[in-house]
Amino acid sequence: MDRAARGKTVLSNFEQTCSSFPDADALKWKDASGTWRGLTWSQYRDEVRKVTAGLKALGFRPGEFAAIMARNRPEHLIADLGVLHARGTPVSLYNTLAPEQVQYIAGHCEAVVAFVEDAGFFAKFAAVRDKLPKLRSIVVMNPEGVALDDTVISWDSLIERGAAEDRRDRGAFEEWRRVTPDDLATLVYTSGTTGPPKGVMEAHSNLCWMAESIDAYLDHQVGQRHISYLPFAHVFERFVGHYGAIRGHNVTYFCPDTTQLFAYAVEVKPTQLIGVPRVWEKLQAGLMAGIQADPEEQRRNAVLQAIEVGRKLVKLAQAGQEAPPELLAAAERARPVWMAIRAKVGLEELGWAVTGAAPINPEVIEFFQALGIRLWEGWGMTETSVGATYNPLTRIKNGTVGIADPGVEVRIAEDGEVLVRGGNVMKGYYKDPAKTAETIDADGWLHTGDVGELDSEGYLRIIDRKKELIITAGGKNISPANLEALLKQHPLVGQACVIGDRRPYVSALIVLDSEVAPVWARKAGIVFTSLADLAQHPAVHAEIQKAVDECNRHVSNVEGVKRFTILPVEWTPESEELTPTLKLKRRVVAQKYVGEIEGMYSREERSPAGASEARRA
């Protein structure tokens, strides 16, 4: 990897792709009328050139930082590359951040320019602008409702200034060639599940090294179709939909509303797809609900049988066994059914798909593999520029996150912590040398904070976050993530948070799935007016009890969930219990629901309101 990435930067990769495929599609998006628009690679470079010159006209200097807060749209990436070509550092912010969080990140990196999408995002910066003395200019992509002045300008105005500046000095754009592999390509701020966000310093060398490593195990072909819907502030989308797309000269289709992902997929027919576990869990639940709702019993049973044939094939492949001729024949008959299911959500041309960023139940992966989709689980973190392990497409091992990426070293420390070393490991945490030294040791090993184990073939299994392992009052180490993944297998369970650290037994807070629960309730003839009503209904408690019993069937008695509470709320990034990529903020949950948690550990013989005793299956 070192040799392949030597001397490269994100900008040299961009230049190479734009020069090699000038007329190929690069970016695609829908305009206000719902019509697809696009830019070729040469047009993409022209827009970046204007932004670069426009920034220089605003007085932007090499070494400075720019913040970007916008949904998935072309201007987000054009702004990012414009900042890089101006020899600065772009920093994408989560759209769900509160003004105080915007202030923290923009102040921490001392951003001098901010790109915002519209009046709503502008208001977050305006609310704290007096606390951001370094911020000189704000560029608004859609300025409707925003009062413009000398320091608040529209995107179109920036483009016009840039075009004029570029005509005046055509050679200025070539200053990007002075950018070196050791220069920062971005700061990616962690989502802060355990404290204030940290600015992960990712150099051009890290990102180009990572791109070469991924290219070594994925067959990149020109024009692969990728739907960009996860936040660009998260390293998963940032790498695959931006840096990886540049290196692999893929077409990025922007989906600004995550709830519309599979509606977009029906039109785009992606050839690759990334997703956090909740995306796959909800898709499986939705597909199965649709199948079960088919009133024609014979057709419904035929579809379920076709899926079961696929599962049998997967299980044999996982065991390293060949399928018998009769099963292969059944699979050929089932294949049109699999493809019909996939076509309903636009996945009939999908070459591969990956799940990451959080734990997932292997049975969810198996479901999609049973439909002929090569879904695999990978593992990495912001500090590894996205990846560290992958499952080879020729030997996917469910329940593991695969083997080390090409060029990456992975080993397990004495206490079970996973250590990683390679050219993908970050340069450190911005303005925090102490935390950097604590995380990357003198030998270059990144201490990931994850606990895991390697099998005899070098496949890694992640057990849990080192600091999130539950140690019960009896001294038993328990993985909450494993139990939560099992609970979320039930379609009614939207989110779950397992409690038990220094407690006599394990309990769980459960949140209903806001889409599935109402449909289930109507089908069951339950009268309700809100999700809160359902959370209190005896029939819902009985159904969640089944989910808990099924979860407990897969673990030892001491690990089983003994009590649970169904909360009358929905957890979202806006309500603060989840990060923008739907990871649990355990500290927030523990603080917000301290009463409900303590209620589950009451000494009273009778369960408190809303809490239920969990039975063993």
pLDDT of residue 501: 83
Contact 389, 325 (CB under 8 A): no
CA distance 562 to 554: 14
Fill in the amino acid letter for 257: D
CA distance 172 to 191: 36
pLDDT of residue 612: 58
CA distance 549 to 616: 6
Spatial neighbors of 599 by CB under 8 A, at least 6 apart, are: 565, 608, 609, 610, 611
pLDDT of residue 138: 98
Contact 581, 276 (CB under 8 A): yes
Residue 132's Cβ-side half-sphere holds a number of Cα atoms within 13 Å equal to 29
Beta bridge partners of 410: 420
CA distance 188 to 427: 12
pLDDT of residue 127: 97
- Measured in degrees and rounded to the nearest 5, phi and psi for residue 26 equal -120, -55
Contact 73, 141 (CB under 8 A): yes
Q: What's the pTM?
A: 0.85
Residue for token digits 């297998």?
489
Pairing of strands 251-254, 272-275: unpaired
pLDDT of residue 615: 44
Helix (H) or strand (E) holding 36: strand 36-40
pLDDT of residue 555: 82
Contact 51, 159 (CB under 8 A): yes
Instruction: Compute the Cα dihedral for 427, 428, 431, 434 and give only its sign.
Output: negative
CA distance 572 to 359: 18
Q: Which one, of 211, 254, 215, 247, lies nearest residue 14 by Cα?
A: 247
CA distance 285 to 289: 6
Q: Consecutive 10-residue runs of the chain (617 residues): their mean pLDDT?
A: 89 98 97 97 98 97 98 98 98 92 96 98 98 98 97 98 95 96 96 73 98 85 89 95 96 96 98 92 91 92 97 96 96 98 97 89 94 96 96 95 97 95 98 96 96 96 81 73 89 93 90 92 93 95 95 86 95 86 85 93 49 48
Nearest-5° Cα angle at 329, 328 to 333? 115
Beta bridge partners of 471: 477
pLDDT of residue 110: 98
Contact 12, 218 (CB under 8 A): no
Domains of the chain: 2-179+218-273 (3.40.50.12780), 277-465 (3.40.50.12780), 470-613 (3.30.300.30)
Spatial neighbors of 40 by CB under 8 A, at least 6 apart, are: 22, 23, 24, 25, 26
